[in-house]
Amino acid sequence: MNNAIEEIEKNDIGKIEKDVFLSKYTTYRVGGLAKYIVYPKNAEKLVTLIKILKKNNVMFKILGNGSNLLFSDKQFPGILIKLNEFNDVEFIGNKVLVGAGYPIIKLSLLCAKHSLTGLEFASGIPGTVGGALFMNAGAYNSDMGYVVQNVKVLTPDLRIITLENKELDFHYRTSFFKKHPDYICLETLIRLEKGNKSAIEDLIKERRKRRVISQPLEYPSAGSVFRNPPDNYAGKLIEDLGFKGLRKGGAMVSEKHANFIVNAGGASSKDIKDLIDYVHDKVLEKYNIDLKVEQEFVNF
């Protein structure tokens, strides 16, 4: 690891953070120590960084906004890469070219200012553009698959190519990237439609009010825990079991929305994972429905 860090510094890859607790970088506000987080300045530096890490056999992972991840309480055994510098935005008519590190909520609001409609669904999703592409984030019967024209990616063999929408296998809460996690999103071209600025902004405000009423935004969480099974709702299944308010340590099934597990205060990663596993197993036992977890467990 030390040899890799020396090379990273020598090649001026970008900012390096040392000894950071991942509670600072995840929306659950939990997670063990990360020895190093590296912020490459651009795609060229990212390629150099990955070459260095592979040469030195150092494990690495791309970290977006930490809004769909549960890191264990253990130290992360490698280097985390954050693409915060991949944050350029360019409007081209009714299209927007945006870097993978740009926050998707901020992009949704910016598109509204430009009178572009189609990305309103993302105005409450607390991730980066890259993270939203990875999981095909969505809400209100829409998702990234409806608006993405193409994505520029870094392949496992370190080529930069562009994949078109039809190649990206967007489906409910999944995509090509979930099945091929070695591909790294760099930027995407999003195709929207011209609309009425006031109407777009009013819709975003109205949905914000609905989220405040229906979701536990006052607690750290990672949004919906389980995908909705066909013709049913995960939250209703969990609520019907009487699990609202159920706790394990500092983790709790939200009393406002049963498909949210929240850090009610002092939760560990283990508390949260144990509660997710318990709820999953009880739903399977009661209804014979195998709920799929939306979130990714890392380093357990």
Enzyme catalytic residues: 173, 224, 294
Q: Which of 75, 79, 78 is nearest to 40 (CA)?
A: 79
Q: Which helix (H) or strand (E) holds 284?
A: helix 269-287
Length reported for the chain: 300
SS (H, E, C) 69-122: EEECCCCEEEEEECCCCCCCEEEECCEEEEECCCEHHHHHHHHHHCCEECCHHH
Q: How far apart are alpha carbons 5 and 94 in whole angstroms?
A: 42
Q: Which amino acid is at 284?
A: L
> Could you count the other beta carbons within 10 Å of the beta carbon of residue 181?
12
* Beta-strand relationship, 251-253 and 247-248: antiparallel
Q: What is the distance between the alpha carbons of residues 121 and 117, in angstroms, rounded to a whole number?
A: 10
Strands (E), 119-232: 138-139, 142-143, 148-154, 160-164, 184-191, 193-194, 221-224
Q: Which residue in 162, 161, 149 sits closest to 190, CA to CA? A: 149
Secondary structure letter of residue 171 according to DSSP:
B
